[in-house]
Structure 1
Amino acid sequence: MSQTNSYRRKNALTGDWVLVSPQRGNRPWSGEAAAADSEERLTFDPNCPLCPGTERANNTFNADYRGPHVFNNDFSALTGPEVNQEREPGNVTGEANDASPGFIIEEAAEGECRVICFDHRHDRTLADFSQSELFRLLEVIQQAYRELSAKYRCVTLFENKGALMGCSQPHPHGQIWAHAHLSSTIATEDQRQVDYFRENGSALLADYQQWESKLNERVVFENADWLIVVPYWAAWPFETLLLTKGTQSDFAELTPGNLETLAEALAVLNRTYDALFDCSFPYSMGWHNAPSDQPKKHWRLHAHFFPPLLRSANIKKHMVGYEMLGEPQRDLTVESAAHKLRQLADPIKQQLAKSS
């Protein structure tokens, strides 16, 4: 694709478009660049509500845990059916009436939210974990997923890392939100994949994975079971997509062998991100699992990583102006971003292979 002309790319999973403007790289001023802030990190913080043995809300105390630890969120974004039964009903049918016209629609949102502390130490991130530690964490996450997906249609596993992504709690942790309804993004991705399967007789992300692996232009990392690419339609500067190369549609279907190779992929990706601007690299990431109440041949398990950094440890890509009112726009081409990440990922992969 031209480096001097603007163009658009379509996201196959959502149908949204991304405006790419590589010619803007020739601007005489490219914005401020800054080094990472240095701060002392504590291995244990007695005021942290996620550290072992510390106090949480309502006189609740954490267990004196080691390694991963899961508990119910004290401030859950979702309420259970026993709470929703007491709620004042709105127009849940969508039918217009004098009290509530047809464009005022709501429905109950029932579910559970859990917190996963990745480790007892306050000062670590996933980039500090060994592959064996990541494997153990993935086992814990898988068990929590299995429990929740047996009760709810839609289960999202995610992590917000770093203050730039609005994470106010530095203790390494993620969350699981599970609910009966399909979230808007999952519903959109599901429909796009269903439509593709009906038209082509194959899974969209399976075909996409094979195409990217063969082309090898946007690949950051690949092993026997997983592919990491900067997706063709990426909106964020160093966005990545982590894809299964098998037929798994959700986290419950992963074998111990799949978890081992996934631990390698996550170790490489997190260390690669940190190496890019020599900082603890912020991002929001999440796993997209197939809805648990329907056939899944059209779906492939995948994770999105959305990091905000653009040129340095402190310079964030803001989705404002045209991005909020029109559509996402990027200056750095997807292929350039993938090349930069791949250059860092290859030696990290080799180092991990030697140490294992």
Structure 2
Amino acid sequence: MRELRYNPLTGQWIMVSAVRKKRPWRPKNFCPFCPGGEETGFGWEVLLLPNKFPMLDFKAEKPQNEDFYKKARAIGQCSVIVETPEHNLKDLDELSLEQMVKVVELWKNVTMELKDNPHVAYLAIFRNKGEEIGVSLTHPHGQLYALPFIPLKARLKIENSRKHYRRFGECLFCRILREEMQSERAIYENGSFMLFMPFFANWPFEIHIYPKKHVQWLTQLNSEEIEDLADILRVATATLNALFERQMPYVMNVYQAPFKGHYDFYHLHIEFYPMLRDRNKLKYAAGIELGTWEFTYDGVQEENAQKLREACKKILERVEAKGRCFRV
């Protein structure tokens, strides 16, 4: 059984899939993402695979609606992005720049392919890292969901961006970028992108990546900008992993504009939500966060940004970064 269920209280669609219960948990003797497997074969550098336990499927059947509650087809695509043939790499910062470019190019190409699909309203590209997040397979990989609706968080960002543009005649993200470049929260920049902790960070070491050029989709980036994005992603993950001298569990999301409609006021961006507030202390989304969707911040953003700057400075030479860390 696979379907979408509508929550009339929040305006959200809930993805329901019974097949998800069958997902394996960290198999010890076999990795389905390694070269030579039934799905993978040999001779590849990055790979897009269908998720074997998807929430969405273009062949999903139409569910029968109830008298009051609304259902819809769970139509769409769930895919796995295998980022390297090498099984034992821990994070994106251990990929070479050339390999990371191939990953970003795959993101761009799949965006181009799905953008014209009439069933896809929004493409969510994301990455989960760490057992604390519930990652079931350790081979380096990301995921994508091609959704038939625009998710609530994206809708809120779009609406606030639209309001700001109508009032001030400027992109809200471009304004945030100007503010953060002059702040204590700026961490790293290269020719095309900037890494910073936002003034309004929710998670203790939350970081964002903004392109300096006003674009809505990955498809609008040229080859130099793709390489700069690959560079800053390696720097961002290396910085997080150097912060407490251990692998940082996190969730990463790529936010592009929806595929249907006009969004000239919107701006491509990437957000990381790291799960640690100290070396061995997790930041839990607990009562106030889950109950109200309003976050409390354990500390001061500027103080934690300073720690990230210090961590960033340590890793620049190792990752052969193209840009510069903001002064500690």
Q: What TM-score, normalized to structure 2?
A: 0.84
The amino acid of 2:252's aligned partner reads M
* 2:60 corresponds to 1:83: yes
2:132 alignment partner, one of 151, 156, 164:
164
Question: Which residue does 1:288 correspond to in 2?
Answer: 255
| Deviation per residue, 1:95-120 (Å, 9 max, x gap) | xxxx32xxx33333321111110001
Which residue of 183, 189, 202 corresponds with 2:151?
A: 183
In the alignment, which residue of structure 1 is the partner of 2:175?
207
One-letter code of the match for 1:308? M
Cα distance in 2 for residues equivalent to 1:65 and 1:309: 37
Q: 1:120 aligns with which of 72, 81, 85?
A: 85
Secondary structure of the residue aligned to 2:252 is strand
Q: In structure 1, what is the Cα distance between the partners aligned to 2:127 and 2:320?
A: 26
Read off the aligned partner of 2:241 and give its amino acid letter: D
Aligned residues: 293
Q: Which residue of 1 aligns with 2:326?
A: none
3-state SS of 1:329 partner: coil
Task: Give the drift of 1:254.
Answer: 1.0
**Contact preservation (8 Å) 1:67, 1:119:** yes
Match of 1:54 among 37, 40, 48: 37
- Structure 2 unmatched ranges of 5 or more: 1-27, 324-328
Matches within 5 A, 1:116-265: 116-124=81-89, 125-151=91-117, 152-213=120-181, 215-265=182-232
Q: Helix, strand or coil: the match of 2:144? A: strand
Distance across 2 between alignment mates of 1:114 and 1:149: 15
Deviation sequence 1:183-213 (CA, Å, 0-9, x none):
1111111111111111111110011101111
Secondary structure in structure 1 of the residue aligned to 2:100: helix
8 Å Cα contact 1:290/1:296 also seen in 2? yes
Match of 2:266? Answer: 299
Shift of residue 296 of structure 1?
2.2
CA contact (8 A) 1:149 1:178 kept: no
Deviation of the 1:353 alpha carbon? 4.5
Contact 1:84 1:108 in 2 (8 A): yes
Cα RMSD, aligned residues only = 2.0
The aligned residue for residue 76 of structure 2 is 111
Q: Which runs of 5+ in 1 are unaligned?
A: 1-44, 56-60, 91-98
Question: Quick one: percent identity of the two aligned structures?
Answer: 27
Contact 2:242–2:315 (8 Å) recurs in 1: no
Q: Distance in 1 between matches of 2:50 and 2:318?
A: 37
Structure 1 residue 83 displacement after superposition: 2.4
User: How far apart, in 2, do the equivalents of 1:279 and 1:250 lie?
Assistant: 33
Match of 1:72 among 50, 54, 73: 50
Which residue is 1:12 aligned to?
Answer: none
TM-score w.r.t. length of structure 1: 0.78
Task: Give 2:310's aligned residue.
Answer: 343
AA of the residue aligned to 1:321 = G
Q: 1:283 to 1:354 in 2, by over 3 A?
A: closer
Letter in 1 for 2:30: N
Q: Contact 2:186/2:305 (CA < 8 Å) preserved in 1?
A: yes
Measure the CA separation in 1 of the matches of 2:322 and 2:201: 33
- Give the corresponding residue for 1:318: 284
> What's the CA shift for 1:354?
7.7
**Which one has more relative contact order, counting CA pairs under 8 Å at least 6 apart?**
1
Cα displacement (A) at 1:352: 4.2
- Three-state SS of the structure 1 residue aligned to 2:31 is coil
